Structure 1
Amino acid sequence: MNHFDFGVIMEWTPALLQGLGITILFTIGGLILGLLIGPVFAVFSLSRYTVLRIVSRIYIDAIRGTPLLLQLFILYYALPALGLKLSAPVAGILGLGINAGAYLAEIFRAGIESVPRPHVQAARSLGMSAWQTMYRIELPQAVALVLPPMANEMISLVKSTSLISTIAIDELLRSGQIAVSITFAPLEIYMVVAILYLIVNLLLSGLVRWLEYRSGSARRSELKRTMQEVGV
């Protein structure tokens, strides 16, 4: 009968922590890229220009309708056939960011559409352009509304980083697989991997709740000041 081996855990935890560091770096890189892409395509989705709405719809539907794993394979394995060879880290961050951007675009779009229409109408009646209204009235309110679903996307992104192991990046799960192949101790190794994932996601959830609490009053004050400027 096999016994639980704490020695394996002590020996391999430093290597797993290195893998966790890579997971966190790719999560941050993918999230930053996603946050750059998402709001842009959210605005495109609500644009009065048909071309922008079509481009946004194609991007969102194509990304959300195909697996992230396939997208990573296309970036890393298929693009070289077209003469574009990406390194594994670049392909990993691009894949995660492009994928997250599509989901964040829908999150931001829903947040913008939830902004009370009288606020928008008041801003437009006072001469604000569509872009000024978007960035001064709609987006500030939308950000407060999208924090909870953004937290879910961040947690999903952390878990999605496990897929970049398929393009030879030694993130947390791949580090665990390597450790298991050497130690033949899957219970001990995968338990540590699971705990590390759980810790990161719990910390992210706590951070988002703290941001919601801390930024709530500040956003309300800023919004009140802005709405007073536009006469609401």
Structure 2
Amino acid sequence: MFKIMFSNWDALLSGLGYTLLASVIALIASLIIGTAFALMEISLHKWVRVIGKAYVEFIRNIPLLVIAMAFYVIVPQFIMQMDGFTAGTIGLTIYTSAFIAETVRAGIQSVPNGQMEGARSNGLSYMQAMTHVVFPQAIKLVIPPLGNQFINLVKNSSVLAFVAGFDLMYQGKLIANATFNTFDTYLAVGVLYLVITMPMSYAMRYLEKRWHTA
């Protein structure tokens, strides 16, 4: 394994960089989109709730690879050109956002109704009460499941390998094909994924303990 890593370090490091970049972009974007659809799912307006639920259920029941391939194959044919990295990152973002939406929605609905009612009785609008009272409490509750979604996002970024996204898995596939040493190559790739996910896991545990004791 170490021989593979050192002899192909530049390629692996390049792949690691693309994996990190795709993960950070997808993490931020999916958190924003997912939170927006979570709020739509619990909206006071029925048609907004219908749109939010339809998006979440539709995306959650489609394989990630299908979504990524749609942006890689179909979108360039009919809408606009995009490279594999962009297509894979967009697919990863959309897929993850549906799961984050469900996580955030569950967190919001787990906050006692009295919090919203108390805020409204003090003169706050629905959005003000949601933003300043309910949502901060919900975020503390969903830190553990959100952490799991973020870690899954990093692992799911390997989908970029199927759309020529130059990520870590893609570089590993090229190295394995060139060296005929599949076992050591993918073992090295697995170790590099651990380098990313393990610190995230510990960071989420730290945030969970800190916020629960605050």
For the aligned pair, the TM-score class normalised by the smaller chain equals over 0.9
Q: Which of residues 87, 92, 117 in structure 1 aligns to 2:88? A: 92
Q: Which of residues 163, 170, 174 in structure 1 aligns to 2:170? A: 174
Match of 2:9 in 1: 13
Q: Which of residues 120, 125, 128 in structure 2 aligns to 1:124? A: 120
Q: Distance in 1 between matches of 2:2 and 2:31?
A: 41
Match of 1:111 in 2: 107
Q: Is the 8 A contact 1:13 1:192 kept in 2?
A: no
Q: Which runs of 5+ in 1 are unaligned?
A: 221-232
Match of 2:131 in 1: 135
Whichever residue aligns with residue 90 of structure 2, its letter is L
Match of 2:28 in 1: 32
Report whether the alignment pairs 1:194 with 2:194.
no
Q: Distance in 1 between matches of 2:98 and 2:22?
A: 17
Match of 2:53 in 1: 57
| TM-fit CA distance, 1:124 | 1.1
| TM-fit CA distance, 1:216 | 4.1
Q: Distance in 1 between matches of 2:20 and 2:150?
A: 11
Q: Distance in 1 between matches of 2:14 and 2:131?
A: 40
Q: Could you report, residue by residue, the CA deviation over 1:182-206 in whole angstroms, capped at 9, with x for unpaired residues?
A: 1111122111111111221111101
- C-alpha spacing 1:142/1:11, structure 2 compared with 1 (3 Å): same
Q: Is the 8 A contact 2:5 2:188 kept in 1?
A: yes
| TM-fit CA distance, 1:142 | 0.5
1:127 counterpart SS class: coil
Match of 1:66 in 2: 62
Match of 1:77 in 2: 73
Whichever residue aligns with residue 153 of structure 1, its letter is Q
Whichever residue aligns with residue 191 of structure 1, its letter is L
Match of 1:226 in 2: none
Whichever residue aligns with residue 128 of structure 1, its letter is L
| TM-fit CA distance, 1:83 | 2.9
TM-score by length of 1: 0.87
Q: Distance in 1 between matches of 2:2 and 2:194?
A: 20
Whichever residue aligns with residue 50 of structure 1, its letter is K
Larger Rg: 1
Deviation larger for 72-81 or 102-111: 72-81
Q: Which of residues 213, 216, 224 in structure 1 aligns to 2:209? A: 213
2:8 counterpart SS class: helix
| TM-fit CA distance, 1:86 | 2.5
Q: Distance in 2 between matches of 1:183 and 1:110?
A: 48
Whichever residue aligns with residue 198 of structure 2, its letter is L
| TM-fit CA distance, 1:18 | 1.9
Match of 1:203 in 2: 199
Q: Could you report, residue by residue, the CA deviation over 1:157-211 in whole angstroms, capped at 9, with x for unpaired residues?
A: 1111111111111111111111111111112211111111122111110111122
Whichever residue aligns with residue 114 of structure 2, its letter is P
1:142 counterpart SS class: helix
Q: Which of residues 137, 160, 167 in structure 2 aligns to 1:164? A: 160
Number of residue-to-residue matches in the alignment: 214
| TM-fit CA distance, 1:17 | 2.2
Amino-acid identity (%): 36
TM-score by length of 2: 0.94
1:110 counterpart SS class: helix
- C-alpha spacing 1:6/1:156, structure 2 compared with 1 (3 Å): closer
